[in-house]
Amino acid sequence: MKRAAITGIAGQDGTYLARGLLRRGYEVHGLLQFPFDREEPVLRRRYPADEFHAVRWMTGSLEDPFSLVRFLKAARPDEIYHLAGLTDSRQSFLVPEESVLSITLGTLRLLEAARELCPNARLFLASSAEVFGVPAETPQSETTLKQPATPYGIAKLAADQFGRLHREKYGQFVTVGMLYNHESPLRPPNYLSRRLSLGVAAIKRGETKELQLGDLSAERDWSDARDVVQAMWLSLQAAQPDDFVFASGTPKRVEEFVATAFRAAGLDWREFVRTTPRTDAQQQVTLGLCGNPHKAETELGWKRQWSFDAMVADLVQAELENRSELERANPAATPLPL
């Protein structure tokens, strides 16, 4: 039986990944940021009882190398999926030092602990499209110039570089996955996708008549989270470690996301959406971020199940149906016919 260790197991990606690995027959060890008693209610809502009891839960922090050592000693993993760390690039402007501590130093500590305790383990490092900053070219590939424009992106690039260093100098199997936006019904309400789907459902039910949003002209490359975690797993089954872009390859404007969400509920977005101009001086890159997934598709055999329209429709349907956390967290969910 293969053993997998997952940092950030309580998040969207960690949940889908853990449940998918359990179904593949893995022994799964998960690192929680907060004490188990605090995390347990949410975890129990996302896992069926047998899967919940199958996971070996442990609490630890990326800022505490000793907890990482204890985690890896207990797990003795064949595969390590590093998904933990600060995830909001906008917040990183407010806490740049915390971003470096959590993302860069946290990754380095994990790499060093793995090098000492389980040198043959295969590691996946979850990176971000934000390492490209204002893109030097569109679409971006694994060889595109990286010039991050946020503290988050800078910290991610430094973490990736440590991963490459360990791969080249120490012979560790370290794969870096540059992840573009990927959504699911598990997103918390502070994300645009969830806020939008909640708003559409509320309008459809007659609970409100308006949804206020910001700039609709920004572009993103959106995929479904369930496809992306499949790519993570495939990358650690490859013969050699490498860098991969995990993206759809098709940029979409926020306006298209909004229109698709309202259309999934049989509504015209223009009747209900009110926009406000951007006022935050610390804006994210809004144009040009689009990944080229060709390498992942050809070398890993990665195939996406979810189209953009199917993904957005599923987000809206989850709110209209008031799906349970357990249903939302199903890694084997498939797109409904449109």
Residues assigned a catalytic role: 128, 130, 152
Q: Minimal CA–CA distance to 288: which of 253, 243, 245?
A: 253
Helix H segments across 83-213? 89-92, 96-99, 106-117, 151-169, 192-204
Separation CA 105–CA 326 (nearest Å) = 34
Token pair belonging to 242: 């490498």
* Residues contacting residue 223 through CB under 8 Å, at least 6 positions apart: 180, 181, 182, 183, 246, 247, 248, 304, 306, 311
Which helix (H) or strand (E) covers residue 261, if one does? helix 254-264
Compute the C-alpha angle 233/303/226, nearest 5°.
55
Transcribe 211-242 into DSSP letters.
Answer: EEE--S--EEE-EEHHHHHHHHHHHTTSSS--
